[in-house]
Structure 1
Amino acid sequence: MDIDRSHVVVVGAGPGLGAGIARRFAREGFDLTLVARTAGTLDPLAGELRGAGAQVRTVTADVADPATLATALAPVAAAAPGVVVHNVGLVVGDDLLVDPPEHFAHALAVDVVGAVAVAQLFTPAMRAAGEGTFLVTGGGPALHPDRAHASLTLGKAALRNAVALLHEQLAEDGVHAAGVTVVGVVEPGTALDPDRIAEAYWELHAQPRGSWTADTVVDGS
């Protein structure tokens, strides 16, 4: 089975880091599928990229709902894209001892289970082809727990371990799975400018087989 080496899917293609990742791969001539919960999030970025000459498809889907996510992304997965980036996180202030368990269950569905669902949708074609790249956006709370962002701390810690498992398991089939751990607040014009961080994703994708790493930390401090 072949994959489309010049097709990248960006799940969580918002105006910040998702846009930077999309622009970086577009500069390399990739066709793009952008995924977000609402068309209002997708349309401005899609318009920008199309104006620069990129081929862009948009899909609205919620990673917290695996069943509808699978339905929405099934046609995209059938096209066997060679690169998939999962760039999703629920960033809210909360308290481990105050907020209800349902809140944390939802946060974990967004931050962790969604990434697993996306991996299960897209990596079978990569494994069959013996190549491909699956990248995930992590976060600083996985390294430095933040009591003011308890759900994000739990989610990013679990996600980091999920990526470690994916890295080991998928490498056996020739697929590179890795994470980018972003420490700090993503903001244009700073050390954590989205376009700067996006270079880490391209560098992971471009790593030669045999030199694959599981994680890159981009620290804005």
Structure 2
Amino acid sequence: MTTIAIVGAGPGLGAAVARRFGRAGFDVALISRDADRTRAFAAELAGEGLTASGFAADVRDPAALGAALDAATATLGPIEVLQYSPVPHRDFMRPVLETDAADLVGPIEFSVYGPVVAVRHVLPGMRELGRGTVLLVNGGTAAIPHTERAGTSIAFAAESAYGHLLHEALAPDGIHVAQFVIPGAIVPGHPRKDPDALADALWTIHRDRHGYRHFADDLDA
């Protein structure tokens, strides 16, 4: 089996996805800014019988993110599935009338440059495998922009466009690119937005390889 790389691996969705794909036989590469927490979580997964390694990188640092993905490949083997799901900073969510050009630098680095760097680093391995899945996970402003969350609304729209272009361009190579929109918060115990339910949905998207945009729940939920 090959590897899933989870960029933005945290204790909620990232942990659930790591376990869901790990149970299916994937090795798991965990990438986040907090090196100690990421390595501790990798050790926890290893204690559960899964193969996992942690790598530290800030998605706004292209060199660090690329190096982490390269290290994951060297350690675990080719990355077949890339999930890009870091949680946006709160300061990206400013009202549109209070947002200037400088306020958009962070969101664009986070939601556009980061995915571009990640995809460029895993694509050669996917092409060599002859298959792959890229899962872009976004909040509801990816589908409906919100005047009080200008940064994520603008950056998610750009990320959505990039993903859609990849969806069309990479399909002939056997690489499926999909966007998974989670409206509102991830809610433990919720029938559709519990972390385990979301992980199952992402597994289904990977397995079925159909369509670009998928929704975890109704946009007004």
- 1:16-63 Cα deviation digits (max 9, x unpaired): 211111111112122111000112442443233122111111000111
- Counterpart residue type for residue 202 of structure 1: W
- Partner of residue 81, structure 1: 79
CA distance in 1, matches of 2:23, 2:68: 27
- Counterpart residue type for residue 119 of structure 2: A
- Partner of residue 179, structure 1: 179
Instruction: Give the aligned length.
Output: 214
Deviates more, 1:72-81 or 1:175-184: 72-81
Q: TM-score, with normalisation over the residues of structure 2?
A: 0.89
- Partner of residue 140, structure 1: 140
- 1:68-123 Cα deviation digits (max 9, x unpaired): 22223223245322111111241423122224422211111101210111000001
| Distance change in 2, residues 1:47/1:71 (3 Å) | closer
For the 8 Å contact 1:91–1:149, the answer to whether it is kept is no
- Partner of residue 155, structure 2: 155
**Secondary structure of 1:177's partner?**
strand
**Secondary structure of 1:25's partner?**
helix
- Partner of residue 114, structure 2: 114
1:12 is aligned, of 8, 11, 19, to 8
CA distance in 2, matches of 1:24, 1:14: 14
Deviates more, 1:198-207 or 1:46-55: 46-55
For the 8 Å contact 1:24–1:198, the answer to whether it is kept is yes
- Partner of residue 192, structure 1: 193
CA distance in 2, matches of 1:213, 1:142: 16
| Distance change in 2, residues 1:40/1:188 (3 Å) | farther
Percent of residue pairs bearing the same amino acid type = 35
For the 8 Å contact 1:14–1:36, the answer to whether it is kept is yes
Deviates more, 1:126-135 or 1:37-46: 37-46
- Partner of residue 62, structure 1: 58
Q: Could you list the runs of 4 or more consecutive aligned residues of structure 1 that deviate by over 3 angstroms after TM superposition?
A: none
| Distance change in 2, residues 1:44/1:196 (3 Å) | farther
- Counterpart residue type for residue 195 of structure 1: D
CA distance in 1, matches of 2:141, 2:107: 14
Bigger helix fraction? 2
Q: Where do 5+ consecutive residues of structure 2 fail to align?
A: none
1:29 is aligned, of 25, 29, 36, to 25
CA distance in 2, matches of 1:156, 1:41: 27
- Partner of residue 123, structure 1: 123
CA distance in 2, matches of 1:73, 1:102: 28
- Counterpart residue type for residue 125 of structure 1: G
CA distance in 2, matches of 1:29, 1:59: 20
For the 8 Å contact 2:84–2:137, the answer to whether it is kept is yes
- Counterpart residue type for residue 25 of structure 2: G
**Secondary structure of 2:53's partner?**
strand
Is the aligned partner of 1:219 residue 2:196?
A: no
